[in-house]
């Protein structure tokens, strides 16, 4: 079973590089373009599974997806081109665990600028991207997590993302065994920054990178 979190514009290149031929479901954190503008490419998984792709989102995100990709949900009967992706929409509620493809998923509400977005916990692993603050209630939902993937855009502050110092403070609050910073911007020098993070965290925190595989 394989879950995909978000479907960004370069999803096609990412799944080809990783050799992924089938997914069980897609989980949506929020509807900014860099997280959903690859949804049209989900049609390739319709071919491999011969079924609709289950897509899980909050009510608000679901409404936005239906607005952005209206042709998927209200197809034009006269259109003669390729068929749109077949998606099976499922609504979830923040903080309420649900089952999908054999996994228990806990949606983790966090703040991204002025909007609420979702992270996800899967047992001992949690994934939180696009985040500028984590409510205390969500920190409690993260207690006991062993591996945390967390937004850490850059060294300088940003209005809608954690910088590295802020991310390190949140990691101290949550206290995972290991943490990886993701959503890293282009001006971060990997080797130098990674060495600083490891030194500041006694080896508990590293930068994530494309193609990283975690075993939990």
Tell me the C-alpha to C-alpha distance, in Å, between residue 1 and each of 21, 48, 54, 55, 102.
Answer: 12, 14, 13, 15, 7
Assess whether pLDDT exceeds 90 at residue 30. yes
Q: How does DSSP classify residue 69?
A: T
Domain shared by 108 and 131, yes or no: yes
Please write the tens of the pLDDT for every residue from 111-146: 999 999 999 999 999 999 999 999 999 999 999 999
Give the number of domains in the chain.
2
Domain shared by 62 and 138, yes or no: no
Angle, CA 18 vertex, CA 97 and CA 108 arms, to 5°? 20
pLDDT at 91: 98
pLDDT band at 67 (very low <50, low <70, confident <90, very high): very high
Domain shared by 19 and 112, yes or no: no
pLDDT at 8: 96
Domain shared by 186 and 85, yes or no: no
Q: How far apart are CA 53 and CA 35, in angstroms?
A: 17
Q: How far apart are CA 130 and CA 97, in angstroms?
A: 21
Beta-bridged to residue 4, according to DSSP, are 26
Mean pLDDT of the region 47-57: 94
Q: How far apart are CA 1 and CA 116, in angstroms?
A: 28
Mean pLDDT of the region 204-216: 92
Q: How far apart are CA 52 and CA 45, in angstroms?
A: 8
Assess whether pLDDT exceeds 90 at residue 75. no
Domain boundary among 68, 91, 114: 91
Domain shared by 31 and 107, yes or no: no
Residue 9, token pair as written in the block: 């514009």
Count CA within 13 A, CB hemisphere, residue 87. Answer: 27
Domain shared by 27 and 80, yes or no: yes
Q: How far apart are CA 81 and CA 110, in angstroms?
A: 40
Domain boundary among 91, 110, 142: 91
Domain shared by 156 and 177, yes or no: yes
Domain boundary among 57, 91, 125: 91
Its domain, for residue 127, covers: 95-216
pTM of the model: 0.95
Domain shared by 67 and 53, yes or no: yes
Mean pLDDT of the region 43-62: 95
pLDDT band at 82 (very low <50, low <70, confident <90, very high): confident
């Amino acid at each position: 079973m394989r879950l995909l979190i978000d479907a960004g514009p370069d999803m096609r290149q990412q799944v080809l590089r990783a050799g992924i031929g089938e997914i069980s479901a897609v989980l949506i954190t929020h509807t900014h373009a860099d997280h959903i503008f690859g949804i049209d490419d989900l049609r390739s998984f319709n071919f491999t599974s011969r079924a609709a792709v289950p897509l899980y989102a909050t009510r608000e995100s679901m409404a936005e997806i239906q607005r952005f990709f209206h042709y998927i949900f209200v197809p034009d009967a006269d259109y003669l081109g390729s068929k749109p992706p077949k998606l099976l929409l499922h609504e979830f509620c923040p903080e309420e665990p649900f089952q999908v493809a054999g996994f228990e998923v806990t949606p983790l509400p966090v703040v991204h600028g002025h909007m609420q977005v979702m992270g996800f916990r899967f047992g001992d692993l949690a994934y939180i991207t696009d985040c500028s603050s984590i409510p205390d209630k969500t920190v409690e939902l993260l207690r006991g997590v062993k591996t945390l993937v967390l937004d850490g855009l850059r060294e300088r502050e940003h209005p809608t993302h954690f910088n590295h110092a802020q991310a390190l403070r949140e990691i101290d609050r949550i206290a995972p065994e290991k943490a990886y910073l993701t959503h890293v911007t282009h001006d971060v020098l990997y080797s130098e920054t990674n060495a600083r993070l490891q030194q500041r965290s006694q080896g508990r925190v590293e930068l994530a990178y494309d193609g990283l595989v975690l075993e939990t």
